[in-house]
Structure 1
Amino acid sequence: MDVLGVVTVVAVGLLVGVELAVAVFVNPMLDRLPGDAGLAARSDGARVLGRVMPFWYSGSIVLGIVWVVLEWGGPGVVPVGVATALLAAAIVVSVALLVPINDRVTRWSAGDAPSDWRAQVGRWDRLHYGRVALLVAAFALVAVGLLGA
């Protein structure tokens, strides 16, 4: 169980780190580039992370579920169970709100982006902040679960 706990904390922690870095550092830097220069980078980032993140989110949820099942009744189960529910909520938010915007962004280039592309990625960024908040809470709870295990 110690190994499962550490693997879960690392997986969720790295997930939070990537999503937090995108929200706080990467996208704001891209937005400061002149003209449409940040558009190509956002489009490429949307493609790359759009392929990887579904597996990372799903894997984190599976780790949480396995932890809860194997440790049922143990001291870390409640925080890890809540963390897993928050990760599931983050997936629902992603699929319902963020993925449709992300799918559009993957197809844009400087020559064919819609005139409101900045407004669309701004909406994505605001929704992403909410998702990051869910992930930070999930990470904290997984860490609490590991301490209680």
Structure 2
Amino acid sequence: MISGLLSVAVLVGSGVVAGVLFAVALSVLPALLAMPADRYVYAHQLIGRRWDPTMPIIVLTSTAADVALAVLARKGTALFAVAAALLLAVSVVSHFCNVPINRVVKSLDPADIPAGWRDPRPLWRRWHLLRTTLALLAVVANAVGVVLA
């Protein structure tokens, strides 16, 4: 019974994480890249208001559920362990790479972009695409793990 509930939890959780990150990569990021600096800063500040703490909670809860399944499931345990590691990597990339960039952008005044401002969008995009790939791999590992279990 508990493995069944955890299976649903990891599929929903990792699916939401992968879906949100994929949607940002597919639609939001290209729109932000096309904006002039002042509009980008303003839009980034608006878009970023609701991510914390929602996404970290979903990522870490899904990671914990994967760890539990890796221990409790009869089959597919290695896949749940891999999914947990991938989701943990999503969290690490987010926390140490994307979030520091977000903090800098949130501190800016869109009407007063400093001279010589270094546009963080290309670097943010690279880190975001990495965590999106990790999240997509995690949901695939979970899906295959649930089918095998």
- For Structure 1 versus Structure 2, the TM-score category normalised by the shorter chain is 0.7 to 0.9
For residue 107 of structure 2, what is the aligned residue in structure 1?
107
| Segment of structure 1 superposing worse, 13-22 or 52-61 | 52-61
Q: Identity of paired residues, percent? A: 34
Count of residue correspondences: 147
Unaligned runs of 5+ in 2: none
Distance 1:15 1:123 in 2: 21
Aligned to 2:44: 42
Map 1:13-92; keep pairs closer than 5 Å. Answer: 13-33=15-35, 36-71=38-73, 74-92=74-92
CA pair 105-78 structure 1, distance change in 2 beyond 3 A: same
Go from structure 1 to structure 2 and tell me whether the alpha carbon gap of 1:59 and 1:24 turns closer, same or farther (over 3 Å shift).
Answer: same
| Partner-residue secondary structure (3-state), 2:147 | helix
**8 Å Cα contact 2:21-2:132 kept in structure 1:** yes
Tell me the C-alpha RMSD between the 2 structures.
1.9
Distance in 1 (alpha carbons) for counterparts of 2:136 and 2:120: 24
Partner residue of 2:4 out of 2, 10, 26: 2
Q: Distance in 1 between matches of 2:57 and 2:146?
A: 23
Encode CA deviations 1:101-137: one digit per residue, 9 max, x unaligned. Answer: 1111222231243456572122111111011111111
Distance 1:115 1:136 in 2: 38
| Structure-2 change in CA distance of 1:122 and 1:3 (3 Å) | same
TM-score (norm 1): 0.87
Aligned residue identity for 1:129: L
Question: In structure 1, how many angstroms separate the alpha carbons of the residues matched to 2:129 and 2:48?
Answer: 16
Moved more, 24-33 or 113-122: 113-122
Q: Distance in 2 between matches of 1:117 and 1:55?
A: 32
